[in-house]
Amino acid sequence: MTLRVTAPLLERADVLDRLSAWWPAAGSGGGAFVWLVGEAGIGKTSLLRALAGRGPAWWGQCDPLSTPRPLGPLLDLADGPVPALAPLLRDEAAPHRVYAQLVDRIRAEPAPPLLLLEDVHWADDATLDLVRFLVRRLESLPVLAVASIRDDELAGRPELTRVLGDTLREARVHRVGLTPLTLEAVRTLARGSEVDAERLHEVSGGNPFFVTEVVAGGLASATVRDAVLARVAQLDPPSVDVLAAVSVAPRSLDVEHVATLTGHGPDAVDAAVRAGLLVEANRSLSFRHELARTAVEDDLGPARRRVLHQRLLGLLLESDSADPSRLAHHAIGTGDPELVLEHVPPAVEEAEARRSRREVTALLDALLVHRDRLDPVTECRLRTKQALALALLDRPDDGLAHARLAVDAAEVLGDALVLGPALVASARCRWLLGEVHVAEREYADAVDILRPGGDSPELAGALVEQARHAMLARHHVPAIDRSTEALGVADRLGAVELQRMATLILGTTELVTGDADEGTTVLTGLLATAREQADGDLAALALSQLGTGSGEIRRYVDADRWLRAGVEEARRADHDYSLSYNTAWLARIAFEQGRWTEATDGAEGPARARGGSAYVTPLTALCVLGRVRVRRGDPDGTSVLDEALQLGRHAELQHRWSAHCGLAEAAWLRGRPAEAEAHLADPFREALECDSAWARGELGYWLWRTGHLDTAPEGAAAPFAAMIGGDWAAAAEQWRELGCPYEEALALAEGDLEAQRAALELLDGLGARPAAQWLRARMRDAGVTSVPRGPRASTRSHPEGLTDREAEVHALLVEGLTNPEIAQRLFISPKTVEHHVSAVLAKLGATSRRDLGGR
Amino acid sequence: MPRYLVERTFPGGLEIPQDASGVQACLNVVDGNAGHQVTWVHSYVSPDHEKTFCIYDGPHPEAIRAAATTNGLPVDTITEVSVLDPYFYRAG
C-alpha cells in the first residue's frame, strides 16, 4: 500500500479521527479492535485506505467465493509485511500456531501496526476464529485492528452475528457505522456534472457508491442499471412480474395490491425480497434503491408500463385512500389526456400547499403537454403560474418562455385580468435575468391595464410588484407611494397575502432609505405574523429583507441576527434562492467587519452559482471575494471584481457599488489613484439619482480618497462624510462603533502619529498588507523615524501579552502535545519550543505545563 | 490550476529534522494541503532559515491560506507566478 494523496473522503473526517484516536501510541501496551460496519457501497474500503495512509498498514482481504480460502487474509499478510507466517501456512500448521505467530510479530513491531481485515462477511470460519483470538489478547497487544463488514449481508449467516455479538462485549472492541452522505456532500460529488444533486441524493439515499456511479454515468446510468437487470434476470417470471408492478409505484406498493395486480402469491414476493431487490416494511414493498426501481421500470417498455399504471390507478381509486400525488403519478403514467386533466390539478394544489416547488413545475409541465385540450384562459393561467414557479426555482429563462407565450395569448384574448398577471410574471423573470428596464416597463404596463377595472387582486398584485421594483431601485418616494396604494387596494379587498407583500415592501423601503427603526418595526411585525401563521415563505422574505436591509445600512448586529435566522428559515422552506442570497450577505457582513477568512469561506458557495441566470447572489459573493483579495494583496482580486460587474451589468446600483469601490480601492493601493475615476464616475452619478446614503457615502469617499472630489455629497452616510470633511477622529470613532476595522484604520491614517500607529496595528492585524505598506511609506515620507515594523514583530492584542508564536505554543500545550510534538507541528526546533514554553509559563504565572492542562 | 509563490517568515528559524519524523512532518503538510486541493511543489529557504519562498499549485489564494492554517504555517504574501527559464525561448 502506497500513500496516495487524494481529495479527502467527504464526511468521514470524524470517523477517521475516532479510528485514529484508537490507534495505540508506541509503548502504551493495549490495542483496539474496530468493526467498520455499513451497507454495500457506503465506502468502507475507501475509509480503510484513508486510514492506511496514516501509518504502516497490514492488509488482509476476504474473497467473495462460495468456498473461501481458509485464513485468506493471513495469506495476504504472509505475502507482504509478515513473511514469518508463510512457512506455517504452507505446512498447514494448526491455526492457533498461526495466530500466535501473528501476535508475536505484532508485539515485535517498533510501533503498533494497523491491521486491516476487509470484507469479513465473506470470511471463512478460521478467520473468524482469528478475530476472537486477537480480541481475547487486546490488553497486551499493541495493534489497531479494523475489520470491515457489510451488515446487510448478515441475514442467514448466524456465525457472523455471533462473532459480532461476542466480540462487541469486550472493552477494547468498538463498532463504527458509516452513514450515508448528506445532501451537501452529494452536491460536492455532483459538482461539474449534469446531475441534479438533490434528486441524486434522494434517489441514492446518500450511498457513496451509487452517487459516484451515477455522477460518472448519469442518472440511471448503464452500469447500475445493468447490475440491477442482471439480478432481475436471475429470477423466475412471477417474481419479475412482482418487480415490474412495484417498479411502477413511486415509493412502495401494498403487498395486497401486488397480488391483485400480478395474480401471483407470496412466494413470488419472497423470492424477490430474498434476492435483495425488494424490501418489505409494514406490509408494503419497495425497491431498496430508487436506481434499481428506475432501472426495472425503464426496462418494462412503454406499453406494459401504461397498462400497469392504469391498473394501479384503478386500484387506488377504488380503495379511496390514495393521495393526489400518487393518483397524478399514475395518471401521467397512462399518458391518457382525460386522466391527466382530471387527476393532476389536485396534485398541483397539494404540491403548492406543501411548497413542493419542484413537484409543482413537473406537474404543470405534465398538464401543459395536453394544451390542445385546454381552453385559452386556462392555458394562460397555467403558463403564468409555471413562469412564477420556475422563477422561484432559479430558472427565470425557462419561466420567461412560458410568460411570453402567456402574454401573447392574453393580448389576443383582450382580458386585462389575464394579461396583467402574465405581464407581471414576465417582468419578474426579466428582472431576474437582469433586464431591469424592460421589467420596469412591463410592471407599469400591467398596472395601467388593470387600474381602469377598479379594485382587483390582479391590480393589487401588479402594484405590489411595481412598488417592489421602485424599492429595489432605491427610489424612496415612488416605493412608498406604490406600496401604500397597494396596501389600500389589498385592505379594501381583504386580500391578506397582498396586504403582507405591500407591508413587506413598505417596511423594507423605510429600513434602507427612510427611518430604519420604523422599517424594522414594520418588518418584525410582519415576521411575527408569518410565524403565527406558520407561513415559511413570508418569514423567509421578512428575514431576508431585515437581514440584507440592516446589512446595507451597516446595522451589523441586527443584520447578523436576521441573516442567520434567514438561513435557517430558507432551509426549512426549501427556498434555494433565499438560502444562497442570505449566505452571500453573511459573507459581506463578515468582510465589512474585518472577518476576512469567514467572508471568503462564506462567499465560496454562492460565488459558484455564476453561470446560472440569477446574478445577484454570485455578484454579491464575488464582490466579497474580490474585495478581500484586494485588501490582502492576494492575486485575482480585480479580475473577480470585473467578473462580478460583468455578471451584474444590468443590476441595480445597490448590488454593484461595493464592487466599483473595490476596483477604485485596488487602483489606489497600486499607487494609481487616477485610474479610480473611471470606476467611480458613472456609479457616483447613479448614486446621486437614488436615495441610498451609504452608496453616496462610499462612492464619494473613494472619489475623495483618489483626489477626484472635494466635498461630501449631500446625504452621504455620516462616517464617510466625516472622513471627506476631514474630521478623522469622529469618523474613526463611528467606524469603531460600527465594527469596521479597515475603515477605522483608514480614518486614523489621516490623524496624528498616535492615530497612525493605531491604524497600523489594525491593518497588520487584518493582514491588510497593501494598506499597511501605504501607511508606512506615508509615515516615512513625513519624516517619522520609528515606524513600527511588520506584524511578526509586534505582540498582537493577546490578553496575557503573549507573542503570536507563544500563543501558538500555548494552544498546542493545552491540547496536550509534548515538546517534540509541538516542534514537529510548528516546524521549529525542540530547543526553541522549550524557550517558548518557559515564556508562556512565566507570562501566565504557571509553574508547570500541567497547570495549563498540558502533559 | 494557478501556481503561487508564497513567502513565509519563521522568526527564530524553520527547523525540519533530517530523519523519519522530518519525513513525516513533510508528509503531514502534504496531507494537510490535500484537504484544500493544494499541492506543495517545492520551497526555497534563506540561509538563516527565517524566510521561505514556496511554490504551490492551488485553485485560489484562499485555499493556500486555508492549507497554511491547517498546517500551522505563516503566510506573508501570495503572488501568482508562472515559470520563466533563461533558455525557454532559445530555438533548437
Domain match, A609 and A755 both: yes
Domain match, A739 and A833 both: no
Q: Quick check: is A195 in a domain?
A: yes
Convert the pLDDT of each residue in A195-214 to its tens digit. 788 888 887 788 887 777 66
pLDDT score, position A855? 58
Last residue of a domain, one of A123, A148, A177: A177
Convert the pLDDT of each residue in A729-758 to its tens digit. 999 999 999 999 999 999 999 999 999 999
Q: Which residues of A touch B21 (CB under 8 A)?
A: 820, 824
Report which of residues A351 and B13 the model is more confident about. B13
pLDDT score, position A205? 81
- List the single residue in B4, B15, B30 with the smallest CB-CB distance to A828: B15
Task: Say whether A254 sits in a helix, a strand or coil.
Answer: strand
**Cβ–Cβ contact B37 with A under 8 A:** yes
Q: Quick check: is A262 in a domain?
A: no
Domain match, A521 and A636 both: no
Domain match, A611 and A715 both: yes
Q: Where are the domains of chain B?
A: 3-81
pLDDT score, position A612? 46
Closest by CA to A388, choosing from A424, A419, A344, A349, is: A424
pLDDT score, position A327? 85
Domain match, A615 and A516 both: no
Predicted confidence (pLDDT) at residue B38 exceeds the cutoff of 60: yes
Last residue of a domain, one of A146, A177, A208: A177
Contact A792 B65 (CB under 8 A): no
Q: Does ipTM surpass 0.90 in this model? A: no
Q: Quick check: is A732 in a domain?
A: yes
Domain match, A44 and A159 both: yes
Supply A845's cell numbers.
504565572
Q: Where are the alpha helices (DSSP H) in A91-217?
A: 95-108, 125-136, 158-168, 183-190, 197-204, 208-217
pLDDT score, position A5? 39
pLDDT score, position A209? 72
> Domain count of chain A?
5
Domain match, A692 and A762 both: yes
Q: Quick check: is A54 in a domain?
A: yes
Helix (H) or strand (E) holding A51: helix A44-52
pLDDT score, position A680? 97
Contact B15 A832 (CB under 8 A): yes
**CA dist list (Å): A132 to A72, A96, A144, A147, A163:** 16, 11, 15, 12, 7
Supply A238's cell numbers.
412471477
- For residues B7-29, give the mean pLDDT: 85
Domain match, A485 and A559 both: yes
- List the single residue in A5, A634, A769 with the smallest CB-CB distance to B31: A5
Q: How far is A4 from chain B (nearest CA, A)?
A: 9
**Cβ–Cβ contact B48 with A under 8 A:** no
A710 within 8 A of A733, measured Cβ to Cβ: no
Q: pLDDT band at residue B19, thresholds of 50, 70 and 90? A: confident
Supply A790's cell numbers.
511588520
Q: What is the pTM of this model?
A: 0.57
Q: Which residues of B touch A629 (CB under 8 A)?
A: 61
Q: What is the DSSP string of A646-704?
A: HHTTTS-HHHHHHHHHHHHHHHHHTT-GGGHHHHHHHHHHHHHHS--HHHHHHHHHHHH
pLDDT score, position A321? 64
Neighbours of A541 (CB within 10 A): 25
Residues 606-635 of A with CB under 8 A from B: 625, 629, 632-635
Q: Quick check: is A483 in a domain?
A: yes
Q: Which chain B residue shows the shortest CA-CA distance from A767? A: B76
Write the single-letter amino acid at A66: S
Mutation target to probe the B interface, by most B beta carbons within 10 A, among A827, A833, A835 is: A827
Mutation target to probe the A interface, by most A beta carbons within 10 A, among B16, B62, B75 is: B62
Domain match, A555 and A642 both: no
Contact B60 A805 (CB under 8 A): no
Mutation target to probe the A interface, by most A beta carbons within 10 A, among B60, B73, B77, B79 is: B60
The whole-angstrom separation of Cα A774 and Cα A760 is 10
**What is the mean pLDDT of each successive set of 10 residues along chain A, which is 855 residues long?**
50 88 80 91 84 86 60 85 86 74 90 92 81 86 93 77 85 91 89 82 80 62 60 83 87 82 86 80 75 81 91 87 76 92 87 65 90 93 95 87 96 95 95 85 95 94 92 92 95 93 96 96 95 84 93 96 90 66 95 96 82 75 97 96 90 93 97 95 94 96 96 95 96 96 97 94 95 95 81 50 74 83 79 81 76 65
Q: Which residues of A touch B79 (CB under 8 A)?
A: 635
- List the single residue in A769, A808, A824 with the smallest CB-CB distance to B77: A769
When the pLDDT of each residue in chain B is averaged and rounded to a whole number, the result is: 89
Closest by CA to A387, choosing from A401, A377, A376, is: A401
pLDDT score, position A224? 61
Closest by CA to A472, choosing from A521, A426, A437, A447, is: A437
CATH number of B3-81: 3.30.70.3090
Domain match, A668 and A535 both: no
Q: How far is A715 from chain B (nearest CA, A)?
A: 37
Q: Could you list the residue range(s) of the whole structural domain that residue A701 is in?
A: 598-784
Domain match, A603 and A552 both: no
- List the single residue in A601, A629, A792 with the smallest CB-CB distance to B61: A629
pLDDT score, position A2? 32
Domain match, A780 and A812 both: no
The whole-angstrom separation of Cα A478 and Cα A468 is 10
Neighbours of A688 (CB within 10 A): 14
| CATH code: domain of residue A548 | 1.25.40.10
Residues 796-825 of A with CB under 8 A from B: 805, 808, 820, 823-825
